[in-house]
Amino acid sequence: MAVKTKKKLKNEVDFSNVEIAFSGMSDADLRQAARLFKMMNKRWLVSTGSQLGLMAFKMRLPVNAIVEKTIFKHFCGGKTLLECQPTVDHLSEQNVLTILDYGAEGKKTEEAFNSTMRETMRAIRFANENNSVPVISTKITGLGRFEILEKVQKGIELTGAEKEEYIALFKRLNSICHVAHEHKVGLFIDAEESWIQDTIDYLARTMMERYNKKQAIVYNTFQLYRHDRLDFLKNSYEIARRKGYILGAKLVRGAYMEKENARAEEMAYASPIQRDKAATDKDYNEAIRFCIDRYEEIAFCNASHNEASAWYMLELIERNNLDKGHSHLNFCQLLGMSDHLSFNMAKAGYCVAKYVPYGPVRDVVPYLIRRARENSAVTGDMSRELGFIMQEIKRRRL
């Protein structure tokens, strides 16, 4: 696949510069990344591999080592905070910040939720000691049971025990936000499925109202693949203005499209997802513009691998003559993906961060499967990531 990129901006960002994009990778790393992306390019392999992998982990087969040396090594910082330090330093050398993301998903017990809370607080303290880690990311479903969030959203009365669970979840989140506020470390709250998102939005808004008075500590996530989210962003801004706090906004397109559409069809309600990709792209860019126009009151992050959206934000910053290093104007990509965006923008002086997931290998498997599926090509063509890697391999004459 030919990799298309746009012309240079006046400020010298050039997404086609693969030399800068991969300058942090040794020849051996680059070859290994090419092997990995070639494997992920085979849909049948990703599909059967994901199922077999999940089964192997469930059956406690010794697959940890294979996963750790391959896909985990490429997309994750390590199993512990300490193991992430070299990645944090390596990114920092290239002017890229780190957002740590403890990979706890789908947990079910109070013990597991407390353990996620403690780990998130450790990550905040780690960030406090590392200038290049400004933000920690968290998932509400790592702190409390999915079913409780769903019941609250539906307005179903909770039993006594469930009320206690919900209060415990609230307290866990509040304790995390409190520590983040004390240390002036940001906290991204991930967006999840629409049937629990109202509850997440409520929790995020409550925390923003408590902790964002002077600076943005807590950020909610806005999934622009939903047709109601641009209005929701505008509404969230109005509430923040009225109540006197800074809105923290992480903009994403959204990761659960198939699941959302399938559920809507199965339960016969109108899908919350936009009618097509173009509609998502339009609202996404409109959301960027909305935030840029109010950037002193909205701290935001363009969390995407979409080149056109990155380009659009760069153009708006340049056209409006804004300070490209302003702490409210951020870009973020996942570790191991879209290095051509991250490192070229960072080199030009923009605020860029990589999401760095970490945790025990078995806990990060669902995240790794999502990355593998995302990178498997639909048509059998070379994926975008592989295209860039192969360009650099050719340039280095490897």
Ligand X SMILES: Cc1cc2nc3c(=O)[nH]c(=O)nc-3n(C[C@H](O)[C@H](O)[C@H](O)COP(=O)(O)OP(=O)(O)OC[C@H]3O[C@@H](n4cnc5c(N)ncnc54)[C@H](O)[C@@H]3O)c2cc1C
Q: Which positions from 278 to 307 touch ligand X by CB under 6 A, shown as an x/- string?
A: --x----------------------xxxx-
Among 149, 173, 252, 372, binds ligand X (CB under 6 A): 252
Which CB atom, from 168 or from 249, has the smaller least distance to ligand X?
249
Nearest CA to 107 out of 97, 115, 99 is that of: 115
Among 221, 285, 376, 383, binds ligand X (CB under 6 A): 221
- What does the radius of gyration of the chain's CA atoms come to, in whole angstroms? 21
Which CB atom, from 151 or from 226, has the smaller least distance to ligand X?
226
Give the other-Cβ count within 10 Å of 130's Cβ.
19
Among 18, 40, 143, 191, binds ligand X (CB under 6 A): 191
Among 102, 225, 312, 388, binds ligand X (CB under 6 A): 225
Site membership for ligand X, residue 138 (CB under 6 A): no
Among 334, 352, 368, 372, binds ligand X (CB under 6 A): 334
Min dist. Cβ of residue 309 to ligand X (A): 6
Among 116, 333, 342, 391, binds ligand X (CB under 6 A): 333
Centroid of chain to Cα 129: 22
Q: Are 307 and 15 in contact (CB under 8 A)?
A: yes
Among 103, 142, 254, 359, binds ligand X (CB under 6 A): 254
Site membership for ligand X, residue 236 (CB under 6 A): no
Site membership for ligand X, residue 200 (CB under 6 A): no
* Contact set for ligand X, span 71-100 (CB under 6 A): none
Which CB atom, from 56 or from 255, has the smaller least distance to ligand X?
255
* Contact set for ligand X, span 343-362 (CB under 6 A): 355
Q: Are 272 and 194 in contact (CB under 8 A)?
A: yes
Among 35, 213, 277, 289, binds ligand X (CB under 6 A): 277
Among 273, 341, 345, 346, binds ligand X (CB under 6 A): 273
Which CB atom, from 196 or from 303, has the smaller least distance to ligand X?
303
Among 145, 172, 253, 340, binds ligand X (CB under 6 A): 253
Min dist. Cβ of residue 356 to ligand X (A): 10
Q: Which positions from 34 to 73 touch ligand X by CB under 6 A, shown as an x/- string?
A: ----------------------------------------
CA atoms within 13 A on the CB side of 39: 14
Residues in touch with ligand X (CB under 6 A): 190-191, 221, 223, 225, 252-257, 273-274, 276-277, 280, 303-306, 332-334, 355
